[in-house]
Chains A and B, each alone.
Chain A
Amino acid sequence: MQLVNEKIPANSWINSVIKPEEYERYLVDGKDFIDDDKIWKQIEAAQEPSLERVREILAKAYDIKTLSPEELSTLIKVKDPAVWQEMFEMAARIKHKIYDNRIITFAPLYCSNYCVNNCLYCGFRSDNTHEKRERLNMDQIKAEAEAIAGRIGHKRVIAVFGEHPDSDGDYIAEAIKSIYEVSVKTRKGHSEIRRVNVNAAPLCVDDLRKLHEVGIGTYQVFQETYHHETYRKLHPANTIKGNYQWRLYVHHRAYEAGIDDVAIGCLFGLYDWRFDLMGLLYHAIELEQRFGVGPHTISFPRITPASNSPLFKQSDHQKYFVSDEDFKKIVTLIRLAVPYTGLIITARERKEVRDDVLFVGCTQTDASTVIGIGGYAKNTSCQNIDEQQFMLGDTRSLEELIHDLAKRGVITSFCTAGYRCGRTGDQIMDMLKKGHEKHFCKLNAILTYREWLDDFASDETRKAGEEVIRKEIEEVKKQTPSIFSKKLYDLTMSYYERISNGERDLYI
């Protein structure tokens, strides 16, 4: 008999977790919203478009309208490098139109790597005896949050959990509360985690409600691949993750539970990237149509080597691995297809790749990243493949990233203002689609950047950052009173002064 821990048989645990009635009610004629044949037909039917047609589609994206699957499959067929260049530039313009000149940063916080699943590409899979297993208790989770908020200066984390009876809804809810409790004194003020996003297994509605009640930020679950057959091959049927539809409809359950920000994603390199890109778009459209709110963010990690991973030994799968060139196209196409959404590029990618794709529409990234369990408190700087889910490609510190971005004129934002005043869910979605949110992004980026520079920056980075702030304030001045009222400008400047004097967490 297969066990999920010393006492619990796998089958009975899986049956107790999965509640078929919580996803079957969304099926149409017994089918989910990913129609593999239809997607392939759409991809194959599309022809290389004329420049005129491409520009029509780009104009629609610039109006912040979600593209149709046919439009996305048309853009996938573009071959001309000059047309691609135009698409890269439009993706950057759209990002700026919606989110302004800012990049949000966060840290992943791995709480537990016990996992009952056996995904062929993952270092956490249960068959991997090389992996060192650990589950942090609440004191250890607080110690991680203290290091992240107090030593590095992040204000957002994404707490990550393997799928296991010991990291259930109650444990995750306790972890969120523990992280929010932390506050650390800094050079001029104090620092804390103001937004706890969660990447965890698909939970049932009751468990998701527990996360909602303790103030979860975004609930993030990746489908990994949308292709049913590939999903089946990579996620053994006798594991909980083997149930494709339980996973696919977890965001629906999250909305039912009252969670207002959900995030989708897929692991590129498991199947043909064109198909999975279409799957992401179908997923976004499904959420928009059902709930009126699309995904708050989309992630597009590329598969990277993991401890003792069988997938890397299978030559037939390597044909799906995504080149750097295609990766940039993927990011661009997501920005164009779902223009309002946040896009997350992580430290999985090498610095050169991140520097390249950050500017075709990404809005968030991580830095000073440690993905070994308990690694922030230990102040670990080296990577060990047997202690983490995968290998990182970019180990730059937050300070280094901020300095690099500042040199390129980009402001790093630690804004969590939406959570301070309820600009969440369909409220923020509406503002993003109308292009209003960028104005708040701009002001709050200035305020939170000031906090970080005063509390954590070296002299050199502070100098580079202050030049960025000077330019941003100059822009705000120019847009006053046409966009920002005099009253709002004055309030922002008074907050700026108060922050410079040590007050924290002021927002517009």
Chain B
Amino acid sequence: MANEISTFDLERLANSYQIRIWQCRKLGRRWSFIAGAGPEKILPSQLIYEAGDLGFFVQAESLDEPALIEELKKLTSKSICC
């Protein structure tokens, strides 16, 4: 099962890729906003990665897509220790 990413990690990704990124949860036919980072841009919203019912959208002028997807894969599959 995919885990939500922390705001800290979202901010790190937003800074390092110079993007706006936000995570959402799929509910029925819609996506519901959970948290995001990076400045809002007047650019298309692109669904870049889905894991279970989580989805990650970005707004970017240009983007190293494979690298970001790889990071998202790792972050969403991190086990949560208690």
Contacts and interface: CB of A to CB of B under 8 A. Distances in A.
A333 to B, nearest CB: 29
A238 interface: no
A215 B28 contact: yes
B57 A508 contact: no
B32 A485 contact: no
Contact of B27 (A215, A436, A508): A215
A214 B28 contact: yes
Interface SS of chain A: helix
A493 interface: no
Nearest to A417: B45
A180 B23 CA distance: 23
Interface in B28-60: 28-34, 36, 40, 42-45, 47, 55, 57
B42 A424 contact: no
Given A260-B32, A426-B33, A487 B22 contact: no
B61 interface: yes
B27 A488 contact: no
Given A421-B57, A427-B22, A488 B29 contact: no
B75 to A, nearest CB: 17
11 contacts: A214-B27, A215-B27, A215-B30, A260-B32, A260-B33, A420-B30, A421-B31, A427-B33, A487-B43, A491-B44, A508-B45
Nearest to B42: A439
B45 A431 contact: no
Contacts of B29: 180, 194, 215, 419
B28 A177 contact: yes
Interface string A473-506: 0000000000111011001000000000000000
Given A440-B42, A487-B61, 19 more contacts: A176-B28, A180-B28, A194-B29, A213-B27, A215-B32, A421-B31, A421-B47, A422-B22, A422-B31, A422-B34, A422-B55, A422-B57, A423-B33, A424-B32, A426-B33, A431-B40, A434-B40, A485-B43, A488-B42
Nearest to A479: B42
B80 to A, nearest CB: 20
B27 A212 contact: yes
A305 to B, nearest CB: 37
How many chain B residues sit at the interface, stated as a range, is 20 to 34
Interface residues of A, number: 37
B32 A425 contact: yes
A483 B24 CA distance: 26
Contacts of B24: 421-422
A286 interface: no
A236 interface: no
A166 interface: no
Most chain B CB within a 10 A radius of its CB, from A421, A424, A436: A421
A195 interface: yes
A176 B27 CA distance: 11
Contacts, number: 76
B25 to A, nearest CB: 8
A422 B28 contact: no
A440 B41 CA distance: 10
Nearest to A195: B30
A420 B31 contact: yes
A214 B29 CA distance: 8
A212 B25 CA distance: 11
A420 B33 CA distance: 10
A44 B8 CA distance: 49
A422 B10 CA distance: 15
B44 A488 contact: yes
A340 to B, nearest CB: 15
Interface in A102-141: none
A258 interface: yes
Contacts of B28: 176-177, 180, 213-215
A430 interface: yes
A258 B56 CA distance: 18
A224 B44 CA distance: 40
A217 interface: yes
Nearest to A428: B33
A181 to B, nearest CB: 9
A508 B44 contact: yes
A440 B57 CA distance: 15
Contacts of B57: 421-422
A297 B59 CA distance: 26
B64 to A, nearest CB: 17
Nearest to A193: B29
Most chain A CB within a 10 A radius of its CB, from B36, B43, B44: B44
A436 B22 CA distance: 17
A405 B40 CA distance: 31
Nearest to B29: A180
B61 A485 contact: yes
Contacts of A423: 33, 45
A153 B74 CA distance: 43
A419 B31 contact: yes
B29 to A, nearest CB: 5
